[in-house]
Amino acid sequence: MSGKRFLTPLRLFTLGLLGVGAIAAGVIALLNTKVDDTPAAAATAGIYGQDVPPATMPEKLLPGYVLLTAHQLALVPEADGFQSPCGTAQGGFVYDAQPFGTPNPARGGKHTGCDINGIGGADTDLGLPVHAAARGLVVYVGEPSPAWGKVVVLAHRLPGENRIIQTLYAHLDKSIARLGQLVGRGATIGTVGTANGNYKAHLHFEAIASICTEAGLPAYVENGTMNRLDPQKLLASHPAPAVPDPYETIRRLRGREAALQQADTPAAELPAGTIPIKPTQFL
């Protein structure tokens, strides 16, 4: 009967060898698969291919590259009009130092935005607030290069249309907006700066007729001005109502309410001789 035993030592040894071989083949195949799949995976995971949360977004092609995701597109609010991003809402106390499309042979092209400057000239406008020109969604906050300085990009739905455009605010001293934030028209999103001391303080302001842009491309383009709109024409063709954005008003009231609630909570022990005053008594 022993001759008919299925698992003889020889057969066990052979099966063992086969098993080890199979595992080795599997490991080699897996390694090969990983190597072979890398280019295909990179191609399909491109930013054109899918809508993924920002944390898992593939590396950007360019610094400052902006392509709205489907989720962001759904969130872009409808603007009720556009106002000056600096000075008063009507553009008081500022002027356009270098209008859109101005040829600049030294820089090799035409200006892709307009340079808004304080009427005091030079650096007198350094640190002035930069306002959202319209109600929008913050889709970029960053510094694509030292020459650009801090940049904020907002996306807006044009009033009465389903079309989405973007506005770009560059050379900022401080950027206050947060990525993904909804901002009302007139909300402070940063301050006027010099792009790390590269220029006299001014705001480089662009309007972009697209859901895709690059915050880090040259500000002067030889052949035309890409997908840029004349920001001054945009302000003129879609003027904001002469009242603050109700969205922004509500947001400010909510902020004030929260501050007052905080003030109502018991304060830390005051120094001797201090007369405690509730801020609410002045309202």
Instruction: Answer for the pair 118, 269: CB distance below 8 angstroms, yes or no.
Output: no
Toward Zn ion, which CB reaches closer, 185 or 204? 204
Instruction: Answer for the pair 248, 187: CB distance below 8 angstroms, yes or no.
Output: yes
Residues in the chain: 283
* Amino acid letter, residue 162: N
Rule CB under 5 A: say whether 125 interacts with Zn ion: no
Where in 197-236 is the site for Zn ion (CB under 5 A)? 204, 219
String of DSSP letters for 241-280: PSS--HHHHHHHHHHHHHHHHHHHSPPPPPPTT-----GG
Q: Show the binding pattern over residues 81-120: x = contacts Zn ion (CB under 5 A), - = does not.
A: ----------------------------------x-----
- Report, in Å, the least distance between residue 218 CB and Zn ion: 10
Toward Zn ion, which CB reaches closer, 72 or 213? 213
Toward Zn ion, which CB reaches closer, 111 or 135? 111
Q: Give the Cβ contact number of residue 248 at 10 Å.
A: 18
Cβ partners under 8 Å of residue 56, min gap 6: none
Residue 50, both tokens? 């899918």
Instruction: Answer for the pair 189, 176: CB distance below 8 angstroms, yes or no.
Output: yes
- Report, in Å, the least distance between residue 137 CB and Zn ion: 24
Toward Zn ion, which CB reaches closer, 44 or 198? 198
Smallest CA-to-CA distance from 215 within 128, 153, 129 is with: 153
Toward Zn ion, which CB reaches closer, 124 or 181? 124
- Report, in Å, the least distance between residue 149 CB and Zn ion: 11
- Report, in Å, the least distance between residue 74 CB and Zn ion: 32
From 31-39, 77-85, 196-204, 257-265, span contacting Zn ion (CB under 5 A): 196-204
- Report, in Å, the least distance between residue 112 CB and Zn ion: 8
**Which residue of this chain has its Cβ atom nearest to Zn ion in the complex?**
204
Toward Zn ion, which CB reaches closer, 134 or 203? 203
Q: Give the Cβ contact number of residue 228 at 10 Å.
A: 21
Where in 173-192 is the site for Zn ion (CB under 5 A)? none
Alpha carbon distance 169, 167 (integer Å): 7
CA distances from residue 202 to 40, 52, 148, 178, 256 in whole angstroms, order as listed: 45, 36, 12, 21, 31
| 3-state DSSP assignment of residue 212 | strand
Toward Zn ion, which CB reaches closer, 33 or 104? 104
Total number of residues that touch Zn ion (CB under 5 A): 3
- Report, in Å, the least distance between residue 193 CB and Zn ion: 13
- Report, in Å, the least distance between residue 111 CB and Zn ion: 6
Q: Where does this chain bind Zn ion (CB under 5 A)?
A: 115, 204, 219
